[in-house]
Chains A and B, each alone.
Chain A
Amino acid sequence: MNAVTGTRARSDAALSLQGVDKIYAPTAKAPVHAVKALNLDVRKGEIVALLGSSGCGKTSTLRMIAGFESVTSGAIALAGRRIEQLAPARRGVAMAFEGYSLYPPLTVRDNIAFALKSARLSAREVEAKVAEVAALVEIEPILDRYPSSISGGQQQRASLARALVRPAELYLLDEPMGQLEPRLRALLRGRLKRLLTERGMTSIFVTHDQTEANALADRVAVMEGGVLQQLANQTELKERPANLYVATFIGEPPMNVFDASAEVGERVRFAVADGPKLDFSANEFSEAARNVIARRRRIVIGVRPHDIRLNAGGSEAKVVSNQWLGDQTHIALDVAGKLMVTVAFSEVGAQRGETMRYEIPSGKLHVFDADTGKAISHGSEAA
């Protein structure tokens, strides 16, 4: 018996990956372990983003689900059915991939309509569906052109339209908004989110852009080194990052982190060399967290840019830069020889070189194990 057929697949999971590995060139001297023991459940109607930098394993994962890449080991089930051995066309997935190109002999309109062939619709219904999705991605003017005569960006949108128009168990989208100009990208984010949510289209998309991931996805799977680091909604990724990788990857700008030493007693004290000393009441930390902190010689403390209070508290630092971006202000302070970034949604009157007071509120401190990178505690979470 394998692990997935039957009972172990979660009943509400539309897609389930169990122990999936991908090793490229396994017999070569230096095989590439692109995806490692990946477990991933996607609920019906859910939108999940695979997010990470290049080489993190996100695209290999998407390609294995699509069937463009074999799995080295592990199982993939879609709607309760094992699919990892099936040809791509038999998996019941709709895809918009780079390299999964439009049929050159057909116009854009016919390419999109062709995807509806198996849906047994009247000509009028097909026309209406094509028109709707073409409006969504703004390709109406090029519907009667051939793929070779339109730009790369237009091909990408036509391919996206072709994927979205057809009924499928799962939609797989590879960097769906890669090459769009900013206004259209923002529009498409909203329109796509509306469409996918309203119609309950279970979707997985790959992106290296966390703005895109956060805007569209219900949950984000952060990958690095072939390993799923954390799968959570964006609030959780920011407020409870599982480890230092996630903490310093997620957030624009990401969390500020500092090596620190800790002292646990009546109070919990943290000291950053040449930097701030933080002093908190012990009951702001759970007993478990206090125990772990006490046993570690080296820890890392972190605070998100939006959580730092300026002109408050007793710590001081020099202003390295004060940059107003129209709708927000980014201020970098020199703390312990590093930049500590803070963000405010108004203009802040501080000049470069000035000394500024700041405070890291106790409820906003994150503590990590310096050796493993694992999170020990987040904010005020005394049990």
Chain B
Amino acid sequence: MAQIELRNVTKSFKTGKVLEGLSLSADEGEIVCVFGPSGVGKTVLLRLIAGVEEPDAGSIWLEGRDVTDAPPETRGVGIAFQNFALFPHMSAYDNIGSALTARGASAATIKAKVEKVAGLLKIGHVLSHAPRELSNGQKQRTALARALAADPKIVLLDDPLRNVDAKLRYEMRLELPSLLRASGATVLYVTQDYKEAMAIGDRIAVLLDGRFEQIGRPSAIYREPVSMGVARLFGDPTINLIPIRPRAGDGGATCEIGGATLALGPSHAATEGRSVLLGLRPEALSVIDAGAPGAFPVEVVAVTPLNEKTVLLMRMPDGQEIFASEAGVENEARQPGPAFARFDPARVLAFDEATGARIGGGA
């Protein structure tokens, strides 16, 4: 049974932006990341589910119950915000136990639950501290502990790693899925970091222009984005988009780039004769020194290491800049200058120039 279900939820707000016809269903124990650029209404969506905002239309169902008109305190939802929002005059212990206290739980129950969740989140040693005595990382864990302490069936997390340093954010990214899973809760997790969404979410709901543009597993979203808008939000560097006009060829669609004729493969039949943007992820492009069938000429502008990869900024004959990335940084041989690039046809996507919809590549 779906634990969280949105049915056609619509909400307009003062800035003129709207959430339009949002439908989503999250199963018990599932972590769904709501991902999108800032300002798309991700936080408003959480507020609607928590009950602090009301939708204009549509309904919200939690644990199989229509809660659209139910007051927030009856919804049984645990929430953590990006700014922590801890009660400043209360110790970490009292903050974590606050939902249990409000519910009238016994002191012994509160103690057991607070200590259990604090142990999981490794903040057992700071429970007596006031929020001002906690580091940002400890505050963030305290806020998470508070959201989880009352064993809510539904947990809403609003960009909880936003305000912690990069190192802790990375560690939490590794640990959070296990912690959340141990709680058994169904989780909606808002983030604007695509890596966080891919790492933490069982599924990702991509919120763009007020709509869920795509909802799916991380691998589907990355490899088979429904649109250019989704494709551009994932990847580092982001996907290259090259304007082309494919033609029918012997073995399927072909296109011309920099004077070279390149085969696109069987999944691109729908692109023939249309203006499309070829979507090439940097890791799907490889760079070779000499021309070869299926390769187009480029000028390597700069070679920049990126973590354990090497990113090549390249200029195509028409001046467009594109990226290729290669695993490993030991490739000292790579130098700026003329070269050729080729792509793996199985990993090429094509988007309709007018609508942005994917019409070639993927499954």
Contacts of A327 in B (CB 8 A): 235-236, 281-283, 309, 325
Q: Mark A304-345, 1 if CB is under 8 A from B, else 0.
A: 001000000000000011011111101010000001010101
Bound CA span A251–B237, Å: 18
Q: Does B236 lie within 8 Å of A215, measured CB to CB?
A: no
Bound CA span A216–B282, Å: 19
Question: Given that A189-B304, A194-B301, A330-B199 are contacting pairs, would A321 and B313 also be in contact in the complex, using a CB cutoff of 8 Å?
Answer: no
Interface flag for A39 (CB, 8 Å) = no
Q: Does B302 lie within 8 Å of A190, measured CB to CB?
A: yes
Interface flag for A183 (CB, 8 Å) = yes
Contacts of B236 in A (CB 8 A): 182, 186, 327
Bound CA span A19–B170, Å: 36
Q: Does A194 lie within 8 Å of B302, measured CB to CB?
A: yes
Bound CA span A124–B87, Å: 63
Q: Mark A328-366, 1 if CB is under 8 A from B, else 0.
A: 101010000001010101000000100000000000000
Q: Mark B272-313, 1 if CB is under 8 A from A, else 0.
A: 000000000111000000000000000001111111110101
Which residue of A215, A306, A323 contacts B304 across the interface (Cβ within 8 Å)? A215
Bound CA span A64–B170, Å: 33
Question: Given that A182-B237, A183-B237 are contacting pairs, would A324 and B198 also be in contact in the complex, using a CB cutoff of 8 Å?
Answer: yes
The count of chain B contact residues (Cβ–Cβ below 8 Å) is 44
What distance in Å separates the Cβ of B33 from its nearest Cβ neighbour in chain A? 12
Interface flag for B177 (CB, 8 Å) = yes
Q: Does A341 lie within 8 Å of B199, measured CB to CB?
A: no
Bound CA span A182–B222, Å: 17
Q: Does A343 lie within 8 Å of B174, measured CB to CB?
A: no
Closest chain A residue, CB of each to CB of B327: A345
Which residue of A187, A323, A332, A345 contacts B313 across the interface (Cβ within 8 Å)? A187
Q: Does A193 lie within 8 Å of B302, measured CB to CB?
A: yes
Q: Does A216 lie within 8 Å of B304, measured CB to CB?
A: yes
Q: Does B199 lie within 8 Å of A320, measured CB to CB?
A: no
Bound CA span A32–B309, Å: 39
Contacts of B222 in A (CB 8 A): 326
Q: Does B313 lie within 8 Å of A191, measured CB to CB?
A: yes
Bound CA span A339–B167, Å: 13
Bound CA span A253–B173, Å: 12
Q: Does B308 lie within 8 Å of A211, measured CB to CB?
A: no
Q: Does A215 lie within 8 Å of B174, measured CB to CB?
A: no
Q: Does A215 lie within 8 Å of B306, measured CB to CB?
A: yes
Bound CA span A252–B305, Å: 12
Contacts of B344 in A (CB 8 A): none
Interface flag for B340 (CB, 8 Å) = no
Bound CA span A197–B177, Å: 44
Q: Mark B306-338, 1 if CB is under 8 A from A, else 0.
A: 111101010000000101010101100000100
What distance in Å separates the Cβ of A105 from its nearest Cβ neighbour in chain B? 33
Q: Mark B195-209, 1 if CB is under 8 A from A, else 0.
A: 100111000000000
Interface flag for B128 (CB, 8 Å) = no
Q: Does A326 lie within 8 Å of B234, measured CB to CB?
A: yes
Bound CA span A182–B323, Å: 13
Closest chain B residue, CB of each to CB of A341: B174
Bound CA span A189–B303, Å: 10
A59-107 contacts to B, CB under 8 A, are: none
Bound CA span A186–B218, Å: 23
Q: Does A306 lie within 8 Å of B308, measured CB to CB?
A: yes
B150-183 contacts to A, CB under 8 A, are: 165, 167, 170-171, 173-175, 177-178, 181
DSSP class of A's interface residues: helix, strand, loop or mixed? mixed
DSSP class of B's interface residues: helix, strand, loop or mixed? mixed
Q: Does A339 lie within 8 Å of B178, measured CB to CB?
A: no
Q: Does A194 lie within 8 Å of B305, measured CB to CB?
A: no
Contacts of A151 in B (CB 8 A): none
Q: Mark A34-59, 1 if CB is under 8 A from B, else 0.
A: 00000000000000000001000000
Contacts of B305 in A (CB 8 A): 214-215, 234
Q: Mark A261-272, 1 if CB is under 8 A from B, else 0.
A: 000000000000
Closest chain B residue, CB of each to CB of A214: B305
What distance in Å separates the Cβ of B338 from its nearest Cβ neighbour in chain A? 14
What distance in Å separates the Cβ of B258 from its nearest Cβ neighbour in chain A? 19
Q: Does A190 lie within 8 Å of B235, measured CB to CB?
A: no
Interface flag for A122 (CB, 8 Å) = no
Which residue of A321, A324, A326 contacts B174 across the interface (Cβ within 8 Å)? A321
Question: Given that A187-B313, A190-B311 are contacting pairs, would A326 and B235 also be in contact in the complex, using a CB cutoff of 8 Å?
Answer: yes
Q: Does B302 lie within 8 Å of A211, measured CB to CB?
A: no
Bound CA span A182–B282, Å: 14
Contacts of A330 in B (CB 8 A): 174, 199
Interface flag for B82 (CB, 8 Å) = no
Bound CA span A193–B303, Å: 8
Which residue of A234, A328, A339, A341 contacts B329 across the interface (Cβ within 8 Å)? A234
Interface flag for B12 (CB, 8 Å) = no
What distance in Å separates the Cβ of A347 from its nearest Cβ neighbour in chain B? 8
Residue of A193, A234, A251 most packed against chain B (CB within 10 A) = A193
Interface flag for A118 (CB, 8 Å) = no
What distance in Å separates the Cβ of A197 from its nearest Cβ neighbour in chain B? 8
Interface flag for A235 (CB, 8 Å) = yes
Q: Does A211 lie within 8 Å of B306, measured CB to CB?
A: yes
Q: Does B311 lie within 8 Å of A186, measured CB to CB?
A: yes
Q: Does A186 lie within 8 Å of B199, measured CB to CB?
A: no
Closest chain B residue, CB of each to CB of A305: B308
Closest chain A residue, CB of each to CB of B325: A327
Q: Does A324 lie within 8 Å of B237, measured CB to CB?
A: no
What distance in Å separates the Cβ of A57 from its nearest Cβ neighbour in chain B? 18
Contacts of B109 in A (CB 8 A): none
Q: Does B306 lie within 8 Å of A321, measured CB to CB?
A: no
Closest chain A residue, CB of each to CB of B307: A252
What distance in Å separates the Cβ of A308 from its nearest Cβ neighbour in chain B? 13
Closest chain A residue, CB of each to CB of B218: A324
Interface flag for B136 (CB, 8 Å) = no
Q: Does B198 lie within 8 Å of A190, measured CB to CB?
A: no
Q: Mark A215-237, 1 if CB is under 8 A from B, else 0.
A: 11000000000000000001100
Q: Does B306 lie within 8 Å of A214, measured CB to CB?
A: yes
Bound CA span A121–B199, Å: 54
Contacts of B232 in A (CB 8 A): 183
Q: Does A191 lie within 8 Å of B302, measured CB to CB?
A: yes
Known pairs A194-B301, A323-B198; list 10 more (Cβ under 8 Å): A186-B237, A190-B302, A190-B321, A194-B313, A211-B306, A235-B330, A325-B199, A326-B218, A328-B327, A332-B175
6 residue pairs bridging A and B, Cβ less than 8 Å apart = A190-B304, A234-B305, A321-B177, A326-B198, A327-B283, A345-B327
A-B pairs, 9 with minimum CB distance: A190-B313, A215-B304, A190-B302, A323-B199, A186-B237, A345-B327, A332-B174, A194-B302, A193-B302
Interface residues of B (CB under 8 A from A): 165, 167, 170-171, 173-175, 177-178, 181, 195, 198-200, 218-219, 222, 232, 234-238, 281-283, 301-309, 311, 313, 321, 323, 325, 327, 329-330, 336
